[in-house]
Chains A and B, each alone.
Chain A
Amino acid sequence: MASAGFDFQAMSSSCQIRLEGRDETDLSAAAERAIKEIRRIERKYSRYRSDSIVSTINQAAGSRTSVRVDKETAGLLGFASQLHQMSDGLFDVTSGIFRNIWNFKAGKVPSQEQIDAVLPLIGWSKVNWDGERISLPLSGMEIDFGGFGKEYAADRAATIIQEAGIQHGFVNLGGDLRVIGPRSTGQGWRFGIQHPRDDGQVLVSVELAAGGLATSGDYERYFEADGRRYCHILDVRTGWPVNCWASVSVVAPACLAAGALSTIAMLKQKVARDFLEDQAASALLISPDLALQYVGSEKPFPLML
């Protein structure tokens, strides 16, 4: 059995593919194809690239012309629409423009007037989406796939590797993980869940032989002002950051599901546990005082000793 690791940068993250299989050249070939797929998704859905489908849609905002999208994009927009509905409006791909007023580098709390000015431009329910064509009714509205693009890429990369007949390994796109299959010995892979207040420290570990793992945390982008922590996860209804959980990690059959569940759980704040239980999820919630709470099967999250 050969074993190989591939490290690369994509989607503004450090990424890694770890594979085990019969033949090292097979592993390299599969990893190469997977990385190509990740880069394809990055290009296609980047809002920084003017030729991406996301930019095309956003540039047409307020122009009354709708954009016909390809099948893959239609699938993802359909998924975004379902998430919006299943989260009672909390998960919203139009919320990206909050960044115009919430600048986490500058670390300045916006005024209520500034927030109120942006809120009308946000809301998936305002978007005209019929399953094939999309149009954003107001000039200045934007959508972005930042909420699940990386997770989707991790799943696609894993699928491509599996299609090559490789059954052992995982894909890690900056903490969004998807397991291809257990180690060749049959054991699961062990992943650390980051300490939300101590960068680089592992608080809990997870052993996975399949499925996806994603974590949403208030420590990814945040600033502190007047003794309060302002994180990048914003409630679309108010425009203010959530503050109930330090992080939520979810294990699900696919990374895409894990990512959506962890993000929505952060947004659900006090009812996160009920939401996760309703979704039959396995999750670890860490509160700001570092208390651990499990939902569903505790087994995937053994305490690190």
Chain B
Amino acid sequence: MNATYSFSTKARMRVAASALAALVLAGCAYNPPKPWEKGNLSKPEMTMAGDPLDQRFVEHIYSSKENASGGAGVGGGGCGCN
């Protein structure tokens, strides 16, 4: 058995990703805001980053109970919670 990259399901992922992207964009026309229209986007709950401690805790819990983890950024080490 080899463990090199041979993601047979890569294509499937791409389809899923583009389907969701299309869904996202269909709901709202592409109309990027001007600087003074960014009031809503600058609200803390609208930024991609969230509560740092909350996120770390939840990531840690899920990575000890589920196989998949990560995706939102790099960094942070593993743990012995196999």
Interface residues of A (CB under 8 A from B): 179, 182, 186-188, 207-211, 251, 253, 282, 297, 299-300
Contacts and interface: CB of A to CB of B under 8 A. Distances in A.
A300 B44 contact: no
- Sorted from nearest, which 4 A-B pairs have the closest CB atoms? A211-B36, A210-B35, A209-B39, A211-B35
A186 B36 contact: no
Nearest to A187: B39
B34 A207 contact: no
A209 B43 contact: no
A186 B44 contact: yes
Contact of B34 (A179, A188, A211): A211
Nearest to B31: A297
Contacts, number: 33
A182 B39 contact: yes
Contact of A253 (B34, B39, B42, B44): B34
Contacts of A179: 36
Contacts of A207: 39
- Specify which of B36, B37, B42, B43 lies most central, judged by the most chain A CB atoms within 10 Å of its CB: B36
Interface in B22-57: 34-39, 42-44
Q: Is the interface of B mostly helix, strand, loop or mixed?
A: loop
A188 B35 contact: no
A79 to B, nearest CB: 19
Interface of chain A: mostly helix, strand, loop or mixed: loop
Contacts of B42: 182, 186, 209
B35 A253 contact: yes
Nearest to A253: B35
A210 B37 CA distance: 8
A225 B44 CA distance: 56
29 contacts: A179-B36, A182-B39, A182-B42, A186-B39, A186-B44, A188-B36, A188-B39, A207-B39, A208-B36, A209-B36, A209-B38, A209-B39, A209-B42, A210-B35, A210-B36, A210-B38, A211-B34, A211-B35, A251-B36, A253-B34, A253-B35, A253-B36, A282-B34, A282-B36, A297-B34, A297-B37, A299-B37, A300-B36, A300-B37
Nearest to B33: A297
Contacts of A300: 36-37
B61 to A, nearest CB: 30
A297 B42 CA distance: 18
Looking at B35, B42, B44, which has the most chain A CB atoms within 10 Å of its CB?
A: B35
Given A209-B42, A211-B34, A282-B36, 9 more contacts: A179-B36, A182-B39, A182-B42, A209-B36, A210-B36, A211-B35, A253-B35, A297-B34, A300-B36
A186 B43 CA distance: 6
A204 to B, nearest CB: 15
Nearest to A208: B36
A251 B36 CA distance: 8
A152 B59 CA distance: 49
